[in-house]
Amino acid sequence: MNSKIKIAIASGKGGTGKTFISINLFNALQKSGTKVNLVDCDAEEPNDREFIAGEFQQSFDVTQKVPVIDESKCIYCGKCYEYCNYNAIFFLAEPQMIRVLEDHCHGCGACSVACEYGAITEKDDLLGTVAIYKVQQNSNLIEARMKVGVHSPVPVIKEAVKSAADADVILLDSPPGTSCPFIQTVATADYVVLVTEPTPFGLSDLRQSVDTLRSMGKNCGVIVNRAGLGNDEVFDYLKKENISLLMSVPFDKSIAMTYSNGKLISNETPEWEKKFSQLFNIILQENGSSSY
Amino acid sequence: MEVAVISGKGGTGKSSISAAFATMQPNVVLADCDVDAANLYILFNPTHEKEEVFVSVYKAVIDKDSCTNCGLCIDYCRFDAIHDVDGEVLIDETACDGCKLCSRICPSESISMIPEDKSRMYAGTFRNGKMVYGRLSPGEENSGRLVDMVREEAKIIAKENHFETIIIDGPPGIGCPVISTITGVNKVVIVTEPTLSGLHDLKRTVEVVSKFKLSKSVIINKYDLNADMANTIEDYCNSQDVKVIAKIPFDKVVVDAMVNCKSVIEFAPDSEIAGLLREAYQKLSEN
């Protein structure tokens, strides 16, 4: 291994097996001595740590600034209300009333800039935490965990990805969907692995993911999980769109059982450890021969 | 009655169960609020009677001709979205949150806000009633507001047509779109699966739903893939006073129904799963 690579593991549809692929790929790589960091970017529902034991190293809070209005200084001019693009300030001119709706605030600071009377100061509001766990000498698991009740996982994801910088291989276990949390995760990746299942729902969401990644100029390949269920349309689609099928994981109750108990198939059977090592080599080749 | 079907973890079977609930009785409004990955239209192929543009966010754009590259906007931006690249001020569209502050403070008034207007809300008729769904254009934010729009439309349609039942298929996770999905509904059904991840995500989801003091029940889907874990989940639910209204076994008939563009109630009305889901819905109505 001489080149650094950042790989995002993603899927439009939830529950297709992103975490299954991420943790097993990570496990196979760290066992072979590769310096690899796995970042659990599914900050709303992080799960990687259920499968991977690591020694806690450090954690830090991710916060955002929210305004505090000093009503003794406020003249109820309404300028902060006008500046806020997120409806996070509730304001009435008559009768005079002003409140901060912290849940809606994005911490942009516009209200502070708007206020000419020094009535707005800011305090830190906790959005979540990033925790780092040492798995092997040079391999870490980094978990982004959004606080329950917070609206967006994006700031926590951004900080977690930043803190993973120091490794030869960085794996990003992405949140589902194709909206902002997904984009933030894949934005810095060199290569994206899309995990899907051979069902109409899986295919529909895969198409959307592929279209999104193409518009971002990202190189991607596909893993079909639970092959054998559903139908063959996804394979036809991959052929037609000239997208590489990186791996096919059969639907198998014993694989499902291993996963459901929080165990790694790449530890349970040498065959699967080898398959995940091969998967990494395939990704390296695919990334080297970037086709668009 | 407004029923929201959610799950912290993705892929537990929300949509298949929502589809089943929506085909047990006629005159239902089905709202697909998984606007990030709307799928139910595949099963129900609704007509397009209404289409509305949803503006998710405004993105800042710099007019290169008048920009003096003074960099003031870089200092003000809290989203790390504006950078000086070799003396030229550039906006990273992905990182821009649309707060408009840069546009307000720019001395040369070179920054304007352009609406992202590719997202849509659709409403129409399907074989068992009316359907509303949202499609968030990739990469866009504020899906909670699109969820609000879909639910608002569903309520209007229900009222106009005198339909009493609204079934909402929710998004995965516990963030903004989920909160929008459950706010003010009568019943929340959380679909989980017997895996360690499923249990972990269920706990976080129960925590969110509890914050809103909503009536909640749980369906354990594919429970026989790990019966021990299903029992652990059931114990957890009991300890939280959350009712488990169904334990559904794994059966390929659910996938086959989907492949045939039908709900499991329509495709295999006499199957064990169809019976269990009818029972679950009955319990939900009684609770």
Q: What percent of chain A has pLDDT over 90?
A: 86
| pLDDT at site A2 | 45
Interface membership of B148 toward A (CB under 8 Å): no
* Cβ–Cβ below 8 Å for A205 and B141: no
* Cβ–Cβ below 8 Å for B101 and A180: no
pLDDT band at A116 (very low <50, low <70, confident <90, very high): very high
Min distance A290 CA to chain B CA atoms (Å): 23
**Residue of A19, A110, A148 lying closest to B174 (CB–CB):** A148
**Residue of A19, A44, A109 lying closest to B173 (CB–CB):** A44
The helix or strand, by DSSP H or E, that contains position B165, with its residue range, turns out to be strand B165-172
Interface membership of A277 toward B (CB under 8 Å): no
Interface membership of B134 toward A (CB under 8 Å): no
Interface membership of A108 toward B (CB under 8 Å): yes
Q: Which CATH number fits domain B2-54+119-286: 3.40.50.2020, 2.40.110.20, 3.30.1360.120, 3.40.50.300?
A: 3.40.50.300
Lookup result for tokens 């019966």:
B227
Is there a contact between B84 and B74 (Cβ–Cβ < 8 Å)? yes
| pLDDT at site A292 | 36
- Which pTM value belongs to this model? 0.91
Task: Give the DSSP letter string of B18-64.
Answer: HHHHTTSSSSEEEEE--TTS--HHHHH-----EEEEE--EEEEEE-T
Closest CA to B79 of A145, A119, A58, A180: A180
Distance CA(B4)–CA(A292), nearest Å, equals 41
Residue ranges per structural domain of chain B = 2-54+119-286, 57-116
Min distance A128 CA to chain B CA atoms (Å): 12
**ipTM confidence:** 0.88
Higher-pLDDT residue of A93 and A265 is A265
Tokens of A106: 């994005």
| pLDDT at site A149 | 85
Is there a contact between A275 and A24 (Cβ–Cβ < 8 Å)? no
Mention every residue, 6+ apart, whose C-beta is less than 8 A from residue B111.
Answer: B60, B61, B62, B63, B73, B102, B103
* Cβ–Cβ below 8 Å for B172 and A15: yes
Same topology between domain B2-54+119-286 and domain B57-116: no
Domain boundaries B57-116, CATH class:
alpha beta
Distance CA(A130)–CA(B222), nearest Å, equals 32
Distance CA(B30)–CA(A21), nearest Å, equals 34
Lookup result for tokens 């129409």:
B124
* Cβ–Cβ below 8 Å for A201 and B58: no
Per-residue pLDDT of chain B (287 residues; tens, 9 = 90+): 999 999 999 999 999 999 999 999 999 999 999 998 899 999 999 999 999 999 988 899 999 999 999 999 999 999 999 999 999 999 998 889 999 999 999 999 999 999 989 999 999 999 999 999 999 888 777 788 899 999 999 999 999 999 999 999 999 999 889 999 999 999 999 999 999 999 999 999 999 999 988 999 999 999 999 999 999 999 999 999 999 999 999 999 999 999 999 999 999 999 999 999 999 999 998 86
Task: Tell me phi and psi for residue B241, to 5 degrees.
Answer: 65, 35
* Cβ–Cβ below 8 Å for B37 and A176: yes
CA B162 to chain CA mean position, Å:
25
Min distance A211 CA to chain B CA atoms (Å): 9
* Cβ–Cβ below 8 Å for A110 and B138: no
Min distance B275 CA to chain A CA atoms (Å): 22
